[in-house]
Structure 1
Amino acid sequence: MSAAQSLLAFDFGVKRVGVACGNTLMRQAQPLCTIAAEGDARFAQIALLIKEWQPQSLVVGVPYHPDGAAHENTAKAKRFARQLQGRFNLPVHEVDERYSTTEAIAGGARDLDAMSAAILLQQYFNEHPEGA
């Protein structure tokens, strides 16, 4: 059996990015924090989290309309995923995040962005039972 791998997940937003963590051994996502910064300041905070958590890969939620069609934030989230991969040289996995915020609201989360990221990461674990 291979060693557990840690992952960080990101719920991308123009103003805020929710962050969650988890690993392939426990396969349980935990909300971590919300980054309320943009541009280089946002990536500086992400760099600190990557240094602290040492993830082997990253997960980014990509939003779509309920019918599966792309919209304005779909392209922005995909761009954010490419930027993460380019800056940190880690594999980035995209997850359909159509309902993560709705789930976080229904669950009564205090930090909706971080909880949405945890829902995305849990979805990733559920969709990849063989590991990351």
Structure 2
Amino acid sequence: MSAVTILAFDFGIKRIGVAMGNTMICQAQPLKVISALDNDARFAAIGALIAEWTPARLVVGLPSHPDGTAHEMTARCRRFANQLHGRFNLPVELVDERYSSAVIGAKRGEVIDDRAAAIILQQYFDAL
């Protein structure tokens, strides 16, 4: 089996964190924070990353309440994952991201979206 690149996303209304890794070393690394204000600009930035890294698969963090029940962002993240699949024709996996920000130990006002995406991707790798 050859190594393939995977991009992961921590979706947010204001920012989208992006991380990358490959299946050979299974180690996620923060890549970028996309701060575009509208969907066209967001997907253009994502498209540029996909063209640059040529991933075989995309991973999207799926938030929920601590007990696992869905909330407003759960539906938004599912929609984002569906849009990624539809626009870029790549397989998209959803990964539970309930505690990704807590693992980082974020301070108030700190932009951590790319590191949260790396934790999401690392969780995906660890489950392989």
Could you say which TM-score interval applies, normalised by the shorter chain?
over 0.9
Q: Which contiguous aligned blocks of 4+ residues in structure 1 show a shift greater than 6 angstroms?
A: none
For the residues of structure 2 that align with 1:111 and 1:119, how far apart are their CA atoms? 14
Identify the residue that residue 100 of structure 2 maps to in structure 1: 100
For the residues of structure 1 that align with 2:45 and 2:105, how far apart are their CA atoms? 25
Identical counterparts, % of pairs: 60
CA contact (8 A) 1:105 1:112 kept: no
Residue aligned with 1:78, SS = helix
Identify the residue that residue 112 of structure 1 maps to in structure 2: 112
For the residues of structure 2 that align with 1:62 and 1:34, how far apart are their CA atoms? 18
CA contact (8 A) 2:30 2:115 kept: yes
Deviation at residue 42 of structure 1 after TM alignment: 0.1
Residue aligned with 2:55, SS = coil
TM-score, with length taken from structure 2: 0.94
Q: Which runs of 5+ in 2 are unaligned?
A: none
After superposition, where does 1:58-97 map in structure 2 within 5 Å?
58-97=58-97
Deviation at residue 105 of structure 1 after TM alignment: 2.4
TM-score, with length taken from structure 1: 0.91
Identify the residue that residue 15 of structure 2 maps to in structure 1: 16
CA contact (8 A) 2:17 2:113 kept: yes
For the residues of structure 2 that align with 1:78 and 1:59, how far apart are their CA atoms? 11
RMSD: 1.3
Residue aligned with 2:105, SS = helix
Residue aligned with 1:98, SS = coil
The number of equivalent residue pairs is 125
